[in-house]
Amino acid sequence: MARHPSWSDEYWLLLMQLYLRRPAGVKPLYARQLVELALELHIPPQYLYSQMFRPRKIDTPTLQHLWDTYSRSPKKLARAVRLLRGMSGFGQAGEFYEGVAVNESWERFFKPIGDGVEAAPVKLMMVLDLYFRLSPITMVPETPEVGELGKLIGMPATEICRVMELYQCCDPCLRRPPLPDGKLASACKELWQQYGNDNPEKLAALAAQMRNFFNS
């Protein structure tokens, strides 16, 4: 994978700390800690995930030096990480790389929609995955699958059903009124256009991976 423009070799300290966290080794692609680090650095999780494999086969003198210096000294590594995070401009790609545009589309997927809507698109995507597993008559708070998803993603069952009602307005197989105005409805429409018209197996595979984000 090509080097990301926002990547700095200093970030190996952060990635190494995550790698060494028990159980030591490569963390799942959408593990919460990996996603949070990606948001902090403005670097997609996929890139950090690929980088996390490199300590298994160290291929640069810089990485070898960092590994030899810190891998057996967690306290020393923690101090170095604190110093790095305290640097002026840390995590602000625009200051480190002047003129490089930061594409935050993937970041918005994990952040609240805003304007009074606390849910993030990643949660709405999980609801859409469940939508395709239920029938309209079972899209009610009493359905066990709805309650289980609510516990997983931290969303009330009533809110999940409200989102499913919005998805019904997007579903061409159902005769429902047009979508109402609002941030939540717009987000549901965007996710339907992205995933609802595609192979549901792709959505199911992504939702299965995202469980690592909510479980960790």
For the chain, the structural domain boundaries read 9-99, 109-215
Distance (Å, rounded) from C-alpha 103 to C-alpha 31? 21
The 10s digit of each residue's pLDDT in 112-159 is 999 889 999 999 999 999 999 999 999 999 999 999 999 999 999 999
The 10s digit of each residue's pLDDT in 169-196 is 999 999 999 999 999 999 999 999 999 9
Share of the chain above pLDDT 70, in %: 94
Does residue 21 surpass a pLDDT of 70?
Answer: yes
Terminal CA-CA length for the chain: 26
Q: Taking residues 106-114, report their average pLDDT.
A: 95
pLDDT band at 94 (very low <50, low <70, confident <90, very high): very low
Annotate 133-143 with b (16+ C-beta within 10 A) or e (fewer). Answer: eeeeeebeeeb
Whole-structure pTM over 0.85, yes or no? Answer: yes
pLDDT band at 103 (very low <50, low <70, confident <90, very high): low
Listed in order, strand segments (DSSP E) in 7-131 are none
Residue linked to tokens 């930061």: 102
* Residue 152 identity: L
Rounded to the nearest 10°, the torsion over CA 150, 153, 155, 158 is -30
